[in-house]
Amino acid sequence: MAVEIPGWRHIYSGKVRDLYAPESGSDDRVLVVASDRISAYDFVLPTEIPGKGEVLTAMSVWWFEQLASIVPNHVISLEVPEPVTGRAMICRNLKMFPVECVARGYLTGSGLADYRATGEVCGVALPPGMQDGDRLPQPIFTPATKAAVGDHDENVDFATVAAEIGTEDAHRLRELTLSLYEHAEAIARERGVILADTKFEFGRDTKTGEIVLGDEVLTPDSSRFWAADEWQPGRAQPSFDKQFVRDWLTSEASGWDRTSGEAPPPLTQEVVERTSERYRDAYRRLTGKSL
């Protein structure tokens, strides 16, 4: 449930973030608050991960700084009201593109499922014989449609994106997505972390017309982070993201049938604690700082 924030009115809640507009309505800023909610398999889970919102915000801010030379971002200020200090940002209110801009450098997840079925990922043909965790010959742009809360994002090909937003913007988003991924992947690798894949969201500043990086960026919610020294293709990789939650939900221990259509059960205390530590560990390894 969204918290009340003096001077701001709640306008929207996503799977993880709550958005607020100024009560005065005299400017186009937006307050973006990262909650401790966690989602998996298109469900917002009934159990929160304490401190998760703080990690997401701090990590996004750090990455926005690393990527500022490639594309401007939407952050205006971190001076936010006390109820959400440390887990919120005041940002430019952008007209968002209706596409998840996914970059993959390794084969896993839904990309692996597509590859096994067709030999391609989002229309990009890959060499035969690849296995879970393999590094791709080069990073690829594998976009997805944006789904409403409770619906499923669908992988699509580049032509679908071009038809939706226009060829020029589609080419620009692909170029930016791959440039950001390659830069971030190199930074992560220097710190002993493999950035297997990630998603970016972009919007247009309605005043200047420029394309701006928005939402969150390169967090354990939107990225797969693997330990470089434990990387071994052909199996699931030790990770610093919410894959641990996904794995528990689909294990016998949870008692949940993913195909049932029913909501997942609450997470156990052990799963909560181990997930929280993975998020904090990702932040420590990448930034060299602790929260």
- pLDDT per residue rounded down to tens, the chain (291 residues): 789 999 999 999 999 999 999 998 767 899 999 999 999 998 999 999 999 999 999 999 999 999 999 999 999 999 999 999 999 999 999 999 999 999 999 999 999 999 999 999 999 999 999 999 999 999 999 999 876 554 567 899 999 999 999 999 999 999 999 999 999 999 999 999 999 999 999 999 999 999 999 999 999 999 999 999 999 999 999 999 888 999 999 999 999 999 999 999 999 999 999 999 999 999 999 999 998
SS3 19: strand
Q: Is residue 277 part of a domain?
A: no
CA nearest neighbour of 109 among 225, 227, 228, 270? 225
Residue 248, Ramachandran bin (φ over 0: left; ψ between -120 and 50: alpha; else beta): alpha
Residue with tokens 């007209």: 95
What distance in Å separates the CA atoms of residue 55 and residue 283, rounded to the nearest whole number?
7
| Whether 226 contacts 215, CB under 8 Å | no
The DSSP 8-state label assigned to residue 239 in this structure reads B
Domain that holds residue 36: 8-92
Q: Are residues 71 and 148 in the same domain?
A: no
Q: Are residues 155 and 241 in the same domain?
A: yes
Q: Are residues 84 and 113 in the same domain?
A: no
Q: Are residues 157 and 135 in the same domain?
A: yes
CA angle, residues 159, 171, 197, in degrees to nearest 5: 85
Residue with tokens 């879970």: 132
Q: Is residue 2 part of a domain?
A: no
Q: Are residues 183 and 61 in the same domain?
A: no
Q: Is residue 288 part of a domain?
A: no
Domain boundary at 59, 92, 125, which? 92
Question: What are the angstrom distances between the C-alpha of 282 and each of 62, 124, 195?
Answer: 12, 30, 11
What distance in Å separates the CA atoms of residue 11 and residue 94, rounded to the nearest whole number?
14
Q: Is residue 281 part of a domain?
A: no
Q: Are residues 172 and 31 in the same domain?
A: no
Domain boundary at 66, 92, 118, which? 92
Q: Are residues 174 and 46 in the same domain?
A: no
pLDDT at 203: 98
pLDDT at 152: 63
Look up the CATH number of the domain holding residue 48.
3.30.200.20
Q: Are residues 139 and 233 in the same domain?
A: yes
Q: Are residues 130 and 26 in the same domain?
A: no
Joined tokens for residue 195: 């950035």
Q: Is residue 3 part of a domain?
A: no
Strands (E), the chain: 8-13, 17-22, 29-34, 39-40, 43-44, 75-77, 88-92, 95-96, 99-106, 120-121, 124-125, 135-141, 144-145, 193-204, 211-214, 223-227
What distance in Å separates the CA atoms of residue 255 and residue 47, rounded to the nearest whole number?
16
What distance in Å separates the CA atoms of residue 237 and residue 261, rounded to the nearest whole number?
28
Q: Are residues 68 and 210 in the same domain?
A: no
Look up the CATH number of the domain holding residue 161.
3.30.470.20
- Number of domains observed in the structure of the chain: 2
Q: Is residue 274 part of a domain?
A: no
Q: Is residue 268 part of a domain?
A: no
Q: Are residues 124 and 58 in the same domain?
A: no
Q: Is residue 25 part of a domain?
A: yes
Q: Are residues 36 and 117 in the same domain?
A: no
